[in-house]
Amino acid sequence: MTLILLEFIIAIPILSFLMTWFVPASEEKWIARSVWIFNAFHLIFILSFIVLWILNGSDSINLKELVLFKSIGYEFFIDFYFDKITAVFSVVGAFLTLLITTYSSDYLHREKGYKRFFNTIQFFYVGYTIIIFSGNLETLFIGWEILGVSSFLLIAFYDDRFLPVKNAIKVFSIYRIGDLGILLAMWLSHHLWHENITFHKLNNFELVHEHLESHTWVGVSISLMILLSACVKSAQLPFSSWLPRAMEGPTPSSAIFYGSLAVHLGVFLLLRTNHFWEQQISVRILIASIGFLTAILTSSIARAQSSIKGQIAYSSTAQIGIIFIEIALGWDILALIHFASNAFLRSYQLLVSPSMVSYFIRESFFVDKPTVATWIQRVPKRISYGFYILSTKEWNLDLWMYKTYWDPLRKMSAILNTPFWIKGIWFTIPLYIYFWFNFSERLLTIHWIHDWLPLLFSSISLWVVFRAFGEKGKPFRAWTLVIYYHFWTALSVMYNEQFKIEQLGVYLSGVIVSGILGAALLLWMQKKEKDLLLDRYRGLKRQYPNLSLFFLLACLGLSGFPITPTFVGEDLLFTHIHEDQVILAYMTSLSYVVEGLAVMRIYARLFMGPSIRTFHEIAYKSS
């Protein structure tokens, strides 16, 4: 009975998301009511399940749900897990989602994207539910990907404006760093455990200690990758600057996504994996140090912010930094209480922020408050003024991200889009054909050449995907380059280790289907639009709403989103990269990050932003 109820709890958000597609966009009442009913039932079922769970002894529940792919030495399966951490996150998530959807039904009345907003919110809630109920890294990564896409869509909700679309791409690009951390953690975990390890097995102290004792550096590397993903998702240093930029969407989405639930998933990731890294003192010190620095710096930034959303965003980040310290100290119960308190507080602050702004403006005109002496006034002026200037500049965190992440990506793509490198790609085609048809021989007679071939092929795939990312001309060219990248990636792993044809089919089947669909749509659009280029945002979603939806699905399928076998295939590829091939794993992960950015850039440039049609109202850049 308990297991059936657990499956039903996980299925309700998925049913709610699917149901919203069939309600007409003009029927606002039915959209809001149906979503409210599903979310209310979800909260009731969760509370009922927790009561039954406590009465039955509150033991951890592990449910192996579905095996998606199985071969010798590899198994990809969906696994769900329930314990006190899941209980707290599920109750808070269900209550706040019900609250936000109730608030949004009136707040977004007669908004053009009313149905689209509820679709996206429910899509986000599906990802959130999968993450908190996940029983292994593979299941968690499914929800992680859903969360990244829903974040992109919510930030760019006002997709006829320049700034929301630009910030959506910026936040999505930072999220891809978190994806890289999860991917590398999954890769190293396969080599450490030689299986798809579940979180339930990680509770076995003897098992974890035995493996980490003989593979110390592998264990530390996995912990660092988990910490990287947690810092990205929870906006900890040095990634704190993306959070206020994500507040471009409607206020309800800011409240549920960046104020309460999604921003705390880094906390959930650390709590869920703490049995793995709790014996690694260096990792615990690093987590506490990052939390401490984030709390200090973002608190000062919050005090100097001019916008109320920026103040709330940085204040929430500071509190999450303190939660990181609590987790590092082993105070899990306190961290869960702190999470719930911070989530409820930030949701409340964001929901009342529009009325609070007008209240403070009126109060500043009619209420004269005397200056109150504080300890800050005793600090030397040179120090306090310097600290204030750094806080107003947000400690140059955004500039640091530009210098270390966005600028190198742009410069690399600009270099590879010069005529010399553009023509060079043509010479890789006969090279690919030769190595593909001579795969059975694998050049075994010259061993040192064979050892370097995976790195060579991975370098070419990285070159191709950077070329696609920097393409400013025809979108069809950029699209075919992304498809070409996938084939080079498959070839690099084929020469790295024995790779069965059925495994190759799992990876490339989704690429081929999504690639053909996207290419057909682009060719059709090129006939309709004479000047279809990627040099600017074109805002064609208004002319082709249905086409934009199908092209988005093609983009998700091509980038390995969990709607095609490519998602399983990417995890399968990483298992064939050896433990000591760090450079190959890093290059494959980096190309995966750039590939996702290239695909979403094509979609954003074609369908988002101010419309190129003069008969549409054009939003200003600053709006």
Structural tokens at position 609: 């932003």
C-alpha angle with apex 258: 252 to 264, nearest 5 degrees? Answer: 130
What residues does 64 pair with on adjacent strands? 79
Identify the domain boundary among 361, 391, 424: 361
| 3-state DSSP percent of the chain in helix, strand and coil, to 5 | 75, 5, 20
Res 333 pLDDT > 80: yes
Secondary structure, 3-state, 176-191: HHHHHHHHHHHHHHHH
How far is residue 141's CA from residue 592's CA, in Å, rounded to a whole number? 14
Whether residue 588 contacts residue 489, with contact meaning beta carbons closer than 8 Å, is answered with yes
pLDDT of amino acid 576? 81
pLDDT of amino acid 170? 87
pLDDT of amino acid 368? 62
Residues 575 and 469 in one domain: yes
Residues 199 and 86 in one domain: yes
Q: What is the mean pLDDT of residues 296-301?
A: 88
Closest C-alpha to 549, from 511, 524, 521: 521
Kindly state the percentage of the chain with pLDDT values over 70: 91
- Confidence class for position 617, pLDDT limits 50, 70, 90: low
Q: What is the mean pLDDT of residues 258-286?
A: 89
How far is residue 21's CA from residue 31's CA, in Å, rounded to a whole number? 9
Whether the CA torsion 588, 594, 597, 602 is positive or negative: it is: negative
What does the pLDDT look like over 146-190, one tens digit per residue? 998 898 888 888 888 888 888 888 888 888 888 888 988 888 888
The answer for residues whose C-beta is within 8 angstroms of residue 104's C-beta and 6 or more apart is 32, 117, 118, 121, 250, 252
Secondary structure, 3-state, 14-82: HHHHHHHCCCCCCCHHHHHHHHHHHHHHHHHHHHHHHHHHHHCCCCCEEEEEEEEEEECCEEEEEEEEE
Q: Is residue 197 part of a domain?
A: yes
Whether residue 185 contacts residue 137, with contact meaning beta carbons closer than 8 Å, is answered with yes
pLDDT of amino acid 8? 85
Q: What is the mean pLDDT of residues 447-474?
A: 83
Q: Is residue 617 part of a domain?
A: no
Q: Is residue 518 part of a domain?
A: yes
Residues 487 and 349 in one domain: no
Residues 316 and 465 in one domain: no
- Confidence class for position 387, pLDDT limits 50, 70, 90: confident
Helices 582-607 and 475-496: crossing angle in degrees, nearest 10, is 160
Eight-class DSSP state of 369: P
Residues 342 and 436 in one domain: no
Q: Is residue 408 part of a domain?
A: no
Identify the domain boundary among 346, 361, 376: 361
Q: Is residue 621 part of a domain?
A: no
Residues 349 and 420 in one domain: no
pLDDT of amino acid 207? 80
Residues 83 and 228 in one domain: yes
Structural tokens at position 347: 């949701």
pLDDT of amino acid 91? 93
Residues 350 and 476 in one domain: no
How far is residue 136's CA from residue 68's CA, in Å, rounded to a whole number? 14
pLDDT of amino acid 369? 64
What does the pLDDT look like over 467-502, one tens digit per residue? 888 888 889 999 999 999 999 888 888 777 766 777
What does the pLDDT look like over 507-534, one tens digit per residue? 888 899 999 999 999 999 888 887 888 8
How far is residue 415's CA from residue 467's CA, in Å, rounded to a whole number? 9
Burial class of residue 57 (count of CB atoms within 10 Å of its CB; 0-12, 13-18, 19+): exposed
Query: Which tops the pLDDT comparison, 449 or 79?
Result: 79
From 218-227, 410-419, 550-559, the region with the lowest mean pLDDT:
410-419
Kindly state the percentage of the chain with pLDDT values over 90: 20
Whether residue 538 contacts residue 609, with contact meaning beta carbons closer than 8 Å, is answered with yes
Whether the CA torsion 534, 537, 542, 548 is positive or negative: it is: positive
How far is residue 330's CA from residue 338's CA, in Å, rounded to a whole number? 14
How far is residue 422's CA from residue 464's CA, in Å, rounded to a whole number? 9
pLDDT of amino acid 293? 93
Identify the domain boundary among 317, 339, 361: 361
Q: Is residue 297 part of a domain?
A: yes
Coil, strand or helix at 236: coil
Burial class of residue 181 (count of CB atoms within 10 Å of its CB; 0-12, 13-18, 19+): buried
Whether residue 561 contacts residue 145, with contact meaning beta carbons closer than 8 Å, is answered with yes
The answer for residues whose C-beta is within 8 angstroms of residue 546's C-beta and 6 or more apart is none
The domain containing residue 82 runs over which residues? 2-361
Residues 218 and 78 in one domain: yes
Res 445 pLDDT > 50: no
pLDDT of amino acid 337? 94
| Average pLDDT along the chain | 84
Residues 26 and 163 in one domain: yes
Res 623 pLDDT > 50: no
Q: Mark residue 609 as left, alpha or beta (left: phi above 0; alpha: psi -120 to 50; beta: remaining).
A: left
Structural tokens at position 397: 């965190």
Whether residue 166 contacts residue 610, with contact meaning beta carbons closer than 8 Å, is answered with no
Q: Is residue 389 part of a domain?
A: no
Domain total in the chain: 2
- The count of other CB atoms within 10 Å of the CB of residue 389 is 10
What does the pLDDT look like over 13-59, one tens digit per residue? 899 888 888 888 788 888 888 889 999 999 999 998 899 889 888 88
- The count of other CB atoms within 10 Å of the CB of residue 91 is 15
- The count of other CB atoms within 10 Å of the CB of residue 494 is 23
Residues 422 and 357 in one domain: no
Pairing of strands 74-82, 61-71: antiparallel
- Confidence class for position 441, pLDDT limits 50, 70, 90: low
The answer for residues whose C-beta is within 8 angstroms of residue 206's C-beta and 6 or more apart is none
- CA dihedral (353, 357, 363, 369) in degrees, to 10, reads 80
Which residue in the block uniquely carries the two structure tokens 């009511």?
A: 33
What does the pLDDT look like over 571-614, one tens digit per residue? 888 888 888 788 888 888 888 888 989 999 999 998 888 876 65
- The count of other CB atoms within 10 Å of the CB of residue 434 is 9
pLDDT of amino acid 370? 66
Residues 339 and 484 in one domain: no
Q: Is residue 144 part of a domain?
A: yes
Secondary structure, 3-state, 77-146: EEEEEECHHHHHHHHHHHHHHHHHHHHHHHHCCCCCCHHHHHHHHHHHHHHHHHHHHECEHHHHHHHHHH
